[in-house]
Amino acid sequence: MKCIDCKEEYEEQPIYRCEKCNGLLEIEFKLSADDFDIKKARKRRFNLWRYKELIPAKKIVSLNEGGTPLYECKNLSEELKVKLFVKNEGANPTGSFKDRGMTVGVSKAIEFGKNITTCASTGNTSASLAAYSARGNLKCIVMIPSGKIAYGKLAQALIFGAKVIAIDGNFDKALETVFKISKNENIYLLNSINPYRLEGQKTIAYEIFDELNHTPDRIILPVGNAGNISAIWKGFKEFYELGIIDKKPKMTGIQADGAKPIVNMFKNKKEYVPEKNPETIATAIRIGNPVSWKKAINAIYESDGYAESVTDEEILNAQRLLARKEGIFVEPASAASIAGLIKLINEGIIDKNEEIVCITTGNGLKDPNVVADLYKNEIIYVKEEDVENLIKNM
């Protein structure tokens, strides 16, 4: 483990920040091409553990995560005049990319001899942590912002048997609270500040290369607490260092207009300032003080990437477009990546003909209320005897 600021190194241990300067920690591998053979890995089952030599965990708790589909989106590509793929992380066991982090994180909890896991969550993290903790026979405590998480996610945390604590405040407040309780030595904190989480999530990058057989020009994804963009960038850098790829993609992070501290920093070239009252319909990215902002901003600068924000209306339009043009139903936060793509094409930031992978981070069924409310007027109520007539006129 190495501090990204003062570069202090630590043996593997359950700490979350640098003990010298409070900086973020990262797992560093001394990589050589002899350690990992992509040809050998490709003969294994297509899931995250195909890359096991590059993932620092031994006592593995798995639900067969990763190996998610990369869809070529011909209809949308034609409409937007780019070459678009969607990496659908909603196809993971609990319906979001968080499972990649939790298979590694919960495995480490067991290696470190912990018996309770915890996290603060806008929903998906708690759903995933609760599932992997159940499978690993660990107790799990999740802290959620009261009334501000999607119903499907809450249902998951409850059925997997987590202790669900709803606090009166937003995600940022919940995160402060779990930091305090994780000082208890039986408890292991599994928010994305935990560097082992990112070791699982970086495999999104490996898989994109594995499926395309080359690096796309750009990756676009929603940014909340900023762990995933940092993890995926790390994955591409590692494949580059191993000589597996010869090009890295531009990392492009999308936040919601009401919660965009990273976009503000990037666009105004100013100091990082947290957003005190984050607000957006995309509850998964309703985060005002992303813990990994520094890693994310590094990823954006190092990759010559970009940061942009989108309105709730743009998010909901993109959600509908992706569903109706490509048959892919994603939750609002995930649709932010498509909304961001459209905005950046219109602004001329993205060149026509670029090859782009949008990461859709969570399944649409997680948050059915938004859709049920928006589209309820599309239901056609008729008497049985009128159905034939109605169809004739369609």
Ligand X SMILES: Cc1ncc(COP(=O)(O)O)c(C=O)c1O
Binds 387: which of Zn ion, ligand X, none (CB < 5-8 Å by kind): none
Binds 3: which of ligand X, Zn ion, none (CB < 5-8 Å by kind): Zn ion
What are the tokens at 213?
């057989």
Work out which of 21, 372, 374, 390 binds Zn ion, going by CB under 5 A: 21
Whether the CB-CB separation of 167 and 147 falls below 8 Å is answered with no
Residue whose CB is less far from ligand X, 124 or 156: 124
In Å, how far are 372, 374, 388 from 378, measured between CA atoms? 10, 9, 18
| CA triple 355-358-281, angle to 5 deg | 150
CB of 247 to ligand X, least distance (A): 24
Binds 204: which of Zn ion, ligand X, none (CB < 5-8 Å by kind): none
CB of 222 to ligand X, least distance (A): 4
Residue whose CB is less far from ligand X, 55 or 285: 285
Binds 23: which of ligand X, Zn ion, none (CB < 5-8 Å by kind): Zn ion
Residue whose CB is less far from Zn ion, 25 or 57: 25
Binds 20: which of ligand X, Zn ion, none (CB < 5-8 Å by kind): Zn ion
Residue whose CB is less far from ligand X, 156 or 225: 225
Residue whose CB is less far from ligand X, 227 or 249: 227
Whether the CB-CB separation of 109 and 118 falls below 8 Å is answered with no
Residue whose CB is less far from ligand X, 226 or 328: 226
CB of 309 to ligand X, least distance (A): 14
14 touches Zn ion (CB under 5 A): no
Residue whose CB is less far from ligand X, 204 or 342: 204
Torsion of Cα atoms, 131 then 132 then 134 then 138, to 10°: -140
Work out which of 9, 12, 20, 58 binds Zn ion, going by CB under 5 A: 20
159 touches Zn ion (CB under 5 A): no
Work out which of 6, 273, 374, 387 binds Zn ion, going by CB under 5 A: 6
CB of 8 to Zn ion, least distance (A): 5
Task: Report the candidate in 145, 143, 155 with the shortest Cα–Cα distance to residue 187.
Answer: 143
Residue whose CB is less far from ligand X, 284 or 321: 284
CA dist 199 and 194 (Å) reads: 10
193 touches Zn ion (CB under 5 A): no
CB of 228 to ligand X, least distance (A): 3
Whether the CB-CB separation of 252 and 219 falls below 8 Å is answered with yes
In Å, how far are 177, 198, 276, 293 from 23, measured between CA atoms? 19, 16, 22, 11
Task: Report the candidate in 102, 156, 108 with the shortest Cα–Cα distance to residue 129.
Answer: 102
Kind and range of the H or E run holding 233 = helix 227-241
Whether the CB-CB separation of 130 and 160 falls below 8 Å is answered with yes
Task: Give the length of the chain.
Answer: 394
How many CA atoms lie within 13 Å of 216's alpha carbon, on the beta-carbon side? 32
Torsion of Cα atoms, 347 then 349 then 350 then 352, to 10°: 70
CB of 314 to ligand X, least distance (A): 16
CA dist 143 and 163 (Å) reads: 9
Question: By three-state DSSP, how is residue 232 classified?
Answer: helix
Residue whose CB is less far from Zn ion, 21 or 33: 21
With CB under 5 A as the rule, give the number of residues binding Zn ion.
8
Where on the chain is the footprint of ligand X (CB under 6 A)? 96, 122, 124-125, 192, 222-228, 284-285, 331, 333-334, 361-362
CA dist 248 and 39 (Å) reads: 20
Which residues, listed in sequence order, are joined to residue 116 by a DSSP beta bridge?
139, 187
18 touches Zn ion (CB under 5 A): yes
Residue whose CB is less far from ligand X, 200 or 216: 200
CB of 13 to Zn ion, least distance (A): 15
CB of 288 to ligand X, least distance (A): 12
Whether the CB-CB separation of 254 and 310 falls below 8 Å is answered with yes
Work out which of 3, 24, 80, 328 binds Zn ion, going by CB under 5 A: 3
Binding site for Zn ion (CB under 5 A): 3, 5-6, 8, 18, 20-21, 23
